[in-house]
Structure 1
Amino acid sequence: MKTLSFSIAVISLLTVPLSAQTTEKVVVVNPGVQLLDRAEVRTRLSVAPKIVVLPAPPASTVKTTTTVTELPAIPRRVYNVERNVVVVEEQDKSYELPYVTLPVLFVKETAELLDAESRAALDQMAAVIQEISKTEPATRFDIEGHTSTEGTDEFNMNLSAARAQRVFDELTQRYGIPASVLTAHGHGENYPQFPNGTEAELQQDRRVLVVRVK
C-alpha cells in the first residue's frame, strides 16, 4: 500500500520527497492516450482548481470496499477521465484539479523518451504553460509520473518519480519555465489504466500528467 500526502492551502500541494511517496490504490477507467491539441490543452489548464465542500462524514476509523480502502487523514485520489480532473477528497472537502495527459511515451523501464512525437508534445505543453503563466503568474502545475503494473512496487515508485523529474527538467532547462511554477511527483503503479493489459496498453501506463494545482 502506498500513500501520497497532499494538503492544499488555497490549493497548493505539500511536496513529499519523490522516493518516499506512496498512495492509495484506485480503479481507474481507461482513458487511452490522446493526441495533444494545444488549444484544448490551453482550455483545460486555464480552469482554476475548484473546492467542493463535502457533508461531514460519519465517525469511523477505516472504511473498506471491494476496490478502495479509505483511511482517515489520507486524501483519496480519483481520476475522472471524462472531465479530465483529479478529484482529491479530504474529510470535509474535495479539490477538483484539471489535468492533461501528456502523450510522451517512455522506453520500457527507463525515463528515456521514446520518439519524436514525445518531444513535440513537450514543445506544445511548454508553450501552453508559458502562455498561462504570463496571464496568471500565481498558477502552479504538478508533473505526475505513472508506471505500468510490471515490476516491483519500489521499482515503479522510483521509476515514476524519475519520469516526472525528467519532464520537470525538460520543461525548466530546455524551455526555460521557472522551477517555481512546477512540482514533480511519482505515483508508481497505483493508478493504472490497464492493470492487466497487453504490452501496447502497458506502454500507455508509462505516462505523465500535467495537473493544475493552483
Structure 2
Amino acid sequence: MKPYHSIALVLIAHAAAQEPPVIVEEHVAPAPPPVVIEEKVVPAQPPVVVERVHPLDPALVRRQLAIAPKVIEVREKPAVVLPPTHVETTETHIIEDPALPPRIYNVERNVVIVEGRELPYVTIPVLFVKETAELLDSESRTALEETAKAMLEVLQTSPDAGFDVEGHTSVEGTDEFNLQLSAARSRRVYDELTQRYGVPVSAIGAHGFGEKYPNHPNGSEAELALDRRVLVVRVK
C-alpha cells in the first residue's frame, strides 16, 4: 500500500470517529404582554339632601297659635247624588271614626273643625328617621324649640290655652303600623316640647291618627310626603 493511501485511510477513520456537531437552536419566547389593571373610578355619591316641605316661619307659628278656637255654625248641605263615574276631590277630608268625632282639615286656612269648633293649627317641619320616632337632624330640634317659644308666649297672655300634638302618616303601610308610628312620633314631639323646652304638661296633649286623615290619598311621592306630618293644634 502506498504511503499516501495509508494517510488517506487514517484521515477517513479519524473523521468517522468524530461525532457530528450538535447544533443548538435557541428559542427565545416572546415576552408576555403587559398586564393592564383597569381601575374603575366610582364617582363619589352626593350626600342625601332631605328637603323640608314647609320651612318653619316662627312669626307665622306665633300668629297662628295665638288665635283662640271659636265656635262656628255648621250648616248641613243637602245630599247630592252623583253619577257612579264621577269622583269629587276637595281640599278637606272628612273621615268618620266611631271612637273620635269627625275632623275636617282645611289646609288652606290651617284650621281643623271638630264638633262645630274651629281649631287653628301649625305644621311643624320635623323629620324623623325612616319608620321610627327618632329625630333626623338638628333643624328638626330647632323647629321644635321655636314652636315651644311660641306656645310659651301664648301661655303668658292666655294661661288657660291648651294645645294638642297630632301625628299623621301617609297611606303607605298597614293601618296598625301607621297608627303606632304616628302615636310614637307625636309622643316624641310632646316629650321634646315638655321635657326639653319647658311647655307645661298641663297645657298640652298628644294623639296619633295614623293614615285616617290624608290630604293626598292617591298622590305622588311629593304629595305623600305632605301627609307625613306633625301638627300642633290650639284646642283651648
TM range (shorter): 0.7 to 0.9
List gaps (5 residues or longer) in structure 1: 1-31, 59-64
Distance in 2 separating the partners of 1:98 and 1:193: 17
**Using a 3 Å threshold, how does the CA distance of structure 1 residues 119 and 134 change in structure 2: closer, same or farther?**
same
**Of residues 80, 87, 98 in structure 1, which corresponds to 2:113?**
87
Structure 2 runs not aligned, ≥5 long: 1-51, 79-86
Name 2:227's counterpart in structure 1: 205
* Distance change in 2, residues 1:56/1:196 (3 Å): closer
Match of 1:172 among 183, 194, 205: 194
CA distance in 2 between counterparts of 1:204 and 1:114 reads: 17
What is the alpha-carbon distance in structure 2 between the residues aligned to residue 198 and residue 87 of structure 1?
26
Which of the residues 115, 129, 136 maps onto 1:107?
A: 129
SS of the residue corresponding to residue 75 of structure 1 reads: strand
Count residues in correspondence.
173
Paired position in structure 2 for 1:78: 104
Distance apart, 1:54 and its partner CA: 3.6
Greater relative contact order, per chain length (Cα 8 Å cut-off, separation 6+) = 1
Normalised TM-score (structure 1)? 0.72
Letter in 2 for 1:51: V
Contact 2:124 2:232 in 1 (8 A): yes
CA–CA distance in 1 between the matches of 2:98 and 2:180? 26
In the other structure, the counterpart of 2:62 is 42
Equivalent residue, structure 1, for 2:20: none
C-alpha contact 1:108 1:203 (8 A) present in aligned 2? no
| Structure with bigger gyration radius | 2
Q: Name the CA distance, whole Å, in 1 between partners of 2:119 and 2:153.
A: 19
Q: Would you say the 8 A contact 1:33–1:101 is kept in 2?
A: no
Q: 1:110 to 1:203 in 2, by over 3 A?
A: farther
Amino acid paired to 2:67: V
Q: Determine helix, strand or coil for the equivalent of 1:111.
A: coil
Structure 1 vs Structure 2 CA RMSD: 2.6
Out of 88, 106, 119, the residue aligned to residue 141 of structure 2 is 119
| Alignment check: 8 A CA contact 2:215 2:227 kept | yes
Q: 1:196 aligns with which of 215, 218, 227?
A: 218
Matched residue type, 1:208 = V
Instruction: Flag the 1:197–1:56 CA change in 2: closer, same or farther, 3 A.
Output: closer
The answer to whether the 8 Å contact 1:44/1:100 transfers is yes
2:16 is matched with which residue?
Answer: none
Corresponding residue for residue 10 of structure 1? none
Equivalents in 1 of 2:76, 2:106: separation in Å?
A: 23
AA aligned to 1:172 is T
How far, CA to CA, are the matches of 1:99 and 1:168 in structure 2? 15
**Stretches of 4+ moved more than 3 A in 1?**
53-58, 65-74, 196-204
